[in-house]
């Protein structure tokens, strides 16, 4: 699974152009749960082509547009379409289920 760091300047273009499913993950370097997510998510067998990491402390524009209220916060984006938040525990079975539920919803434009 590919991993990429995104920021206010490159996130929109990258997510619009990226084929397949991206899991967009907002994190903070000072957040304990975020450190666990950074360690565990790449090791899990998730149905995504890539993990897109956004440092919430340095990218206030994305945080505001995606209405991030807690960290880590995860969102599903497939083929440039926004499928909404993925609210799951950091457990493979729950992430797989919640990603599937997000993809069952109607796609929207990126925030």
pLDDT in tens, 18-68: 999 999 999 999 999 999 999 999 999 999 999 999 999 999 999 999 999
The phi and psi torsions of 48 (rounded to 5 degrees) equal -125, 150
CB 73 within 8 A of CB 25: yes
Residue 56 sits at the vertex; the CA angle it makes with 55 and 62, to the nearest 5 degrees, is 105
Q: Are 36 and 90 in contact (CB under 8 A)?
A: yes
Show the tokens assigned to 70: 């807690």
106: exposed, middle or buried (Cβ count in 10 Å: 0-12, 13-18, 19+): exposed
DSSP letter assigned to residue 106: P
- CA–CA separation, 55 vs 72, rounded Å? 10
| Share above pLDDT 90 across residues of the chain, in percent, rounded to a whole number | 100
């Amino acid at each position: 699974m590919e991993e990429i760091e995104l920021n206010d300047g490159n996130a929109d273009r990258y997510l619009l152009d990226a084929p397949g499913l991206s899991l967009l993950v907002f994190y903070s370097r000072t957040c304990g749960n975020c450190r666990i997510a950074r360690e565990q998510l790449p090791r899990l067998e998730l149905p995504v082509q890539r993990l897109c990491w956004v440092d919430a402390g340095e990218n206030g524009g994305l945080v505001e547009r995606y209405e991030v209220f807690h960290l880590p916060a995860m969102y599903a984006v497939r083929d440039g379409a926004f499928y909404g938040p993925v609210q799951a525990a950091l457990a493979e079975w729950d992430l797989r289920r919640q990603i599937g539920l997000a993809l069952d919803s109607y796609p929207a434009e990126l925030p």
